[in-house]
Chains A and B, each alone.
Chain A
Amino acid sequence: MSIRWHVDADTVAGYAEGRLDEARAYSLEAHLLGCSDCRALAAGAVRTDAIDGEQLDRMWAGIVDTVDAPRPGLVERALVRLGVRQHVARLLAATPSLRLSWLAAETATLAFAVLAAYGSRGHVPSGSGRLSDLLFLAVVPLLPLGGVAVSYGPGIDPTYEIGLASPMRSFRLLLIRAAAVLAASTVLAGVASLALPGLDWTAAAWLLPSLGLTISSLALATVAPPLWASGAVAFAWIAALTATAATVGDDYAAFRGPTQLAFLIVIGLAAVAVAGRRETFEQRSDG
């Protein structure tokens, strides 16, 4: 691999004097590994006559730490490569719904939904829409909903009680994990959407329902156990889809403009409710 850029002298001097912040120092160290020119520049910038015992100890501690610390797992390394800060990556690596097994299951579910869309292409249209990708649209919003439900909470996270007794706010941890799960699910579903037969507006019609269901479940989780909340929202989603199709006579009614607008309102209201009741995530009142 050829290096096409070089570090400027000020940055190297800052590194040599220990003035760079942690993230920039790591970035520079990663570059130095592959660039002999910059290594030479850095070697020249280090004034060995000015290094005192304390600096040497600090450097040695850094070397020991780098060598001695266990190598992070695959998910954690991938997150760091994507630009996630190391300590946040470790918090995310402990998220059950960001494990490879969960992501594989999610991918398989999406693949089946896409295959089902291809399988039903020849069917007679129902109402004013096509049946081919209706299953896909119904299933996709359930994936982040399930992912967030199993990302944090009692009975889900084995270190839940230790986390609750720690100063980091549980609400913040929940939001970090929910955002990561939502992002991962959205990327997977987005890729799967591109594989649907007959790409049109319906390929993105799951986006607001996904957000709406997930945030609604978080809002409900402020008054009920998280798994119950997610289950209730999932049930309500399926019931609403069925009822809408039966009463309106349009299988796609739940995904058209007025309903998308309704989802936007739900997202706003649920977000306000979650923010207003965030303290309920910080202490348990039940068992």
Chain B
Amino acid sequence: MSGWTVEIEGVEKRFGRTRALAGVTFNAEAGITGLLGPNGAGKTTLLRMLATVLAPDAGSIRALGRDPSKPEDRLAIRRRLGYMPQEPGFHRNFTAFEFVDYVAILKEMVDRRPRHDEVRRVLDLVDLGPMAGKKIKALSGGMRRRVALAQALLGEPDLLVLDETTAGLDPQQRLRFREVVSDLAEHRTVILSTHQTEDVAALCRRVIVMDEGVTLFDGTPRELSEVARGRVWLADRRAPEARLSWLTGEGRHRNIGDAPDGAELVEPMVEDGYLLLVGHRAVEEVAA
């Protein structure tokens, strides 16, 4: 039996004339797998499928050994799933506690006292215990994202699907997020999408780079940085050979591309490999 908890084979999806996914294939096992890619790469579409929200046009998906196209399997997956959408909506008149409690009810936690204990546990995990009684509409954007993360953690799910979880979080909150997710991922499968290559380098066992609905890379973060080995160098000015180049805070240009002879090569990072793969689309996004 394979150790894969997520198996995606040739998945395609169109929205009208827009091709969102064009035959994506990858597997994931316990641990954290990161999806990296610019806007419009298809990450969110893929995660919505993994969360059993959206059906593919073609291809197959298996999660936790089950097929989400079958109603009984879909229900079984949902019982072991935690999902944080890219743009989580809230009933803004609810307090943080009431909102998470509401989702706990959707997750079939009917008995009030154990449910309330679980709500307090997940709010504490994201450091929102003291804010539990605050109305959602009175919370900051970062706090709301933590509320959304808290609801995904209800019931200690075996598969956690997190879409742009760290967007809008301050550095301290991101570190806390890494702690929480890495603890969870010891025995579970976490699939997350992010724009932050630092998150991928810090957290992920595997990384999938996507662009325009296809997979460009599938490997470890180290292997992604190795893509750029020998192709990253520092120079006093923008090198004409560089595919990408920017002025660093130290006043020198970091160039990526086919390095000229004698270039001052530097150790590549995950970000360099990513930029080499997705090129100017990612640079524009980083600049934005």
Q: Which of B71, B83, B107, B115 has a CB less than 8 Å from the CB of A282?
A: B71
Q: Give the chain B neighbours of A93 by CB distance below 8 A.
A: 94
Q: Which residues of chain B in 90-137 are interfacial with respect to chain A, using CB atoms and an 8 Å cutoff?
A: 90-95, 97-98, 101-103, 105-108, 110-113, 115-117, 120, 132-133
- Point out the residue from A69, A169, A283 that lies within 8 Å of B54, measured CB to CB: A283
Contact A162 B88 (CB under 8 A): yes
**A175 CB–B CB distance under 8 Å:** no
A161 engages B117 (CB within 8 Å): no
Interface range for A = 35 or more
Please give me the residue from chain B that is nearest to A286 by CB atom.
B15
Within the complex, which residue of A68, A90, A165, A287 is in contact with B102, where a contact is CB–CB below 8 Å? A90
Contact segment of B24-32, B72-80, B170-178, B271-279: B72-80
Q: Are B95 and A158 in contact (CB under 8 A)?
A: no
Classify chain B's interface size.
35 or more
Give the distance in Å from the alpha carbon of A91 to the alpha carbon of B104 in the complex: 11
Residues of B within 8 A of A158 (CB): 89-92
Chain B residues whose C-beta falls within 8 Å of the C-beta of A286 in the assembled complex: 15
| B81 adjacent to A168 (CB under 8 Å) | no
Instruction: Verify if A257 is at the interface (C-beta below 8 Å from B).
Output: no
A84 to chain B, nearest CB (A): 13
- What's the minimum C-beta distance from A279 to chain B, rounded to whole angstroms? 6
Number of A-B contacts (CB under 8 A): 108
**A69–B102 Cα gap in the complex (Å)?**
13
What 0/1 readout, one digit per residue, does chain A (44-83) give for beta carbons within 8 Å of chain B?
0000000000000000011001001110110000000000
Answer whether residue B48 sits at the interface, using C-beta atoms and an 8 A cutoff.
Answer: yes
B97–A165 CB distance below 8 A: no
The answer to whether A283 touches B52, judged by C-beta atoms less than 8 angstroms apart, is yes
A138 to B70, CA, bound (A): 42
- Does B55 lie within 8 Å of A284, measured CB to CB? yes
Which A residues form the contact surface with B (CB < 8 A)? 22, 61-62, 65, 68-70, 72-73, 86-87, 90-91, 93-94, 99, 157-169, 173, 279, 282-287
Q: Which 7 A-B pairs have the closest CB atoms?
A: A158-B89, A166-B106, A165-B83, A167-B78, A165-B51, A168-B106, A167-B79
Q: Give the interface of B toward A (CB within 8 A).
A: 15, 48, 51-55, 68, 71, 74-75, 78-79, 81, 83, 85, 88-95, 97-98, 101-103, 105-108, 110-113, 115-117, 120, 132-133, 151, 161
Complex A-B: 20 CB contacts under 8 Å:
A62-B113, A68-B116, A70-B95, A70-B97, A86-B112, A87-B115, A91-B105, A94-B91, A157-B89, A158-B92, A159-B89, A159-B90, A160-B89, A162-B89, A162-B151, A168-B107, A282-B74, A283-B53, A283-B68, A287-B15
